[in-house]
Amino acid sequence: MSEERSKISLRSGGKRKGRPALKISGPILQQEAGPREPPGRPVAEDAPRPRPRPPPQSSAKTSDLVKRRYSTRFNNVPADFDPTANPVPSLPSLDHYSQARAQDRRPPLSRGGRSESAGGGGPGLQVDARALRDPNLVPEQYVAEILSEATEDEIRDYEAALRKLKSRASTDLQQSVYQNRTQFIKISKEAEKLKGEMRTLRNLMAELKSNTTALRSASNSVEDTGFNGQISVGLSRRDKRSSVADRTALWSSQMQALYKNVEGSQKFLPNTPGRHVVQNAGPWVELDNATYRSRRAMQIFLLNDHLLIASRKKRKTDGPAAADSRAPMTKLVADRCWHLLDVEVVDMAGSSESSSGRNKLADAIMVRGGGQNESFIYRTEKPEDAEKAALILNIRKRVEELRRNLQSEREATNKAKETINYFASRDPGLLQKTELLETLSDIKDMLIEVDGKQQNLRWVESQMDELDIHIALQQIEPAVALIEKLKSLAYGLRNNVIAQDFISFKVDERRAKLAGLVVRELVRAHNQQKKTKQNVSWLTRLGFDDRAREAYLEARSQTIQKRSRQCIFQGNLDQYIWEISFVYFTIIRNTVSCFQACFPPPMMSACVKWAKEEVDAFNAILARQLSGESEGGEAWTRCMETAREHAGMLSEVGLDFRNLVGQKAVGASPHVPSGLGIVGAQAA
């Protein structure tokens, strides 16, 4: 009994495999000194023996726990219990149980982490966009892993999902490219605008610098000393304070003083706008190029673009100036003059040394250049004079400024040529507009106000590009609206005639092109009143309403001729006249009706004139066909009645031409006046 209890487990089963089993064993005898060894295993005498176990609980207590676990207590059945009142439902069959288990069973997860019934790449396969974006993805390995256990249908669905993802990615790429292109164009326009603003800022800064320089030179202008030839500006303090605003007058007074004090200077330096004196370097001495000995006394004047060398000579004692005791004993005579870009000024300091150790040319400069590439050496009269350093520094500044101005002029000229070539290449018609073509260089930086913003002509060109795109794509309504906008813009530039002519020329050229496109569409769809009304409206807004009227009526005349030629005479005169008259007067009626709906009322007279001409054409056909019949005969009468009956259809649109029908057939006298037959009330 003890051995059987030792084999019983209280918690045996699949759900309790992870937990330790509780086994019931028999009572252990207290007299055993140590644990029992399994049979068949010898125990060494010298081996250490384990610690003895504590005595286990009694088996009676364990049995009581087992009884409590497997015992259930039921209450006594009540006396009024009726087993038929609430019958116990029968157990479901095994098939039903297995179906329920199959329904409750969830589908296994796919390798993508979702259930196989989820949509996407097919049943059981999902397209993982994040995995496909991985730059380290190995396609062969990824496909082998994903499709290793997939069926043929799943592979096809997965391929279809990949194609959809590819198409969507291609669409997104196209949209991204279009957006990037739009942003690039916008950024280019902003960069062009910023470039123009920076150019304007540079010009303003250059003007500010020149004004500041003029103010400084005016404040430091030399006083008049009379005898030594110094130039007297003679400006008062008030004039000096206003020299920035009146810079031109200051420069003019300087040049007049130069002409007065230096004889012959006007021959070398004619008075041109902007020319002025920068520095009067004072007295100098010209040296011999070989011996470095003094030759004659000179004086140097630096202008903004020239270098003037004047020699000092004594005045004649017998001249009229000798009687004036206040006149100086020497005079200045212009000797040489060079443009600053044609000469080179070299500092001679350190080129040679004397025996005493002092440099003979320490205060000298060499002027080299001119047409014959000559060189002249000049030395200051005072040793270590500060005028030499100031002269060299000012010459360098002016040369650099002249080079910048020359470069700016070249850039401006090249830009003007590029502007002319640009506009002329885009619109060859400008080559015939000589006056407008000459003004393109003047309007390249011109700004016009558009909706409160300053825009240049490049903006106008961008609008023309957009207009050309609308015309090329036959987007009539946006093109007409843009033309109206540009026309109103040109009309508002009354004070800027050049820009107004330029914009008007470009708009008129594209307006005529668009009008030709709409006229072709009008001729093609002249029998559809809705399209005709829209085309006429566009041509009216473009200013081609007369052309629309002529094109429409011409198209309707061609339709009458085409339909009338389809009527074939087969021997029955009555039938032929009926067909011809029906074609003529039906088309005339429909044309007048459509004309009234599409064109403004003042143009109605042109439509009535056209209808009268078509009735005359019908009368010519009628007279030719009835020429073989006697007037007043039975056949003649039937044909005339048929024609007048069909002419009565014109009364529906306010016209009455029944009296005009058959005039040539009856030989009406040309002296009888015949009106257009307009019904007054309806025509009005």
What's the pLDDT at 610?
92
Between residues 624 and 95, which one has the greater pLDDT?
A: 624
Q: In what order do the strands lie in the sheet with 294-303?
A: 262-263, 330-339, 306-314, 294-303, 277-287, 374-380, 364-369, 343-347
| Pairing, β 374-380 against β 262-263 | unpaired
pLDDT tops 60 at residue 412? yes
Q: How far apart are CA 489 and CA 500, in angstroms?
A: 8
- Among 92-101, 169-178, 246-255, the least confident range: 92-101
- Among 281-290, 446-455, 555-564, the least confident range: 446-455
pLDDT tops 50 at residue 15? no
Q: What is the mean pLDDT of residues 391-405?
A: 90
Q: Which of 344, 338, 360, 223 is nearest to 285 (CA)?
A: 360
Q: Which of 326, 339, 338, 330 is nearest to 311 (CA)?
A: 330
Instruction: Summarize pLDDT for 520-577 with one digit per residue, the tens.
Output: 999 998 888 899 999 999 999 998 989 999 999 999 999 999 998 988 888 888 899 9
What's the pLDDT at 522?
92
What's the pLDDT at 554?
92
Residue 151: what residue type?
T
Following DSSP, what letter does each residue of 20-79 receive, concatenated? PPPB--PPPPTT--SPPPPTT----TTSPPPPPPPPPPPHHHHHHHHHHHH----PPPPT
483 CB-contact burial (10 Å; exposed 0-12 / middle 13-18 / buried 19+): buried
What's the pLDDT at 290?
85
CA angle 46, 48, 53 (to 5 degrees): 140
Distances (CA, A) of 281 to 230, 344, 379, 382, 387: 10, 17, 11, 12, 6
- Among 16-20, 397-401, 444-448, 648-652, the least confident range: 16-20
What's the pLDDT at 19?
52
Residue 41: what residue type?
R
Cβ–Cβ < 8 Å for 165, 129: yes
Instruction: Summarize pLDDT for 583-609 with one digit per residue, the tens.
Output: 999 999 999 999 999 998 888 999 999
Distances (CA, A) of 527 to 476, 555, 592, 598, 618: 20, 9, 12, 12, 21
Cβ–Cβ < 8 Å for 590, 596: no
**SS3 track for 255-309:** HHHHHHHEECHHHHCCCCCCCCEEEEEEEEEEECCCCCCEEEEEEEEEECCEEEE
| Bridge partners, residue 262, by sequence | 332
Cβ–Cβ < 8 Å for 666, 633: no
Cβ–Cβ < 8 Å for 301, 281: yes
Q: How far apart are CA 284 and CA 388, in angstroms?
A: 10
Q: Confidence class of residue 65 from pLDDT cuts 50, 70 and 90?
A: low
Q: Residue for token digits 């068949």? A: 40
What are the backbone angles phi and psi of residue 549, rounded to the nearest 5°? -65, -45
Distances (CA, A) of 442 to 206, 422, 499, 503: 21, 14, 10, 15
Residues 6+ apart with CB under 8 A from 467: 479, 482, 483, 486, 510
End-to-end CA distance of the chain: 132
CA 490 to chain centre: 22
Instruction: Summarize pLDDT for 287-344 with one digit per residue, the tens.
Output: 988 888 888 899 999 998 899 999 988 876 655 555 555 556 788 999 889 888 888 8
What's the pLDDT at 517?
92
pLDDT tops 80 at residue 20? no
Residue 323: what residue type?
A
Q: How many residues does the chain have?
A: 684
Between residues 498 and 150, which one has the greater pLDDT?
A: 150
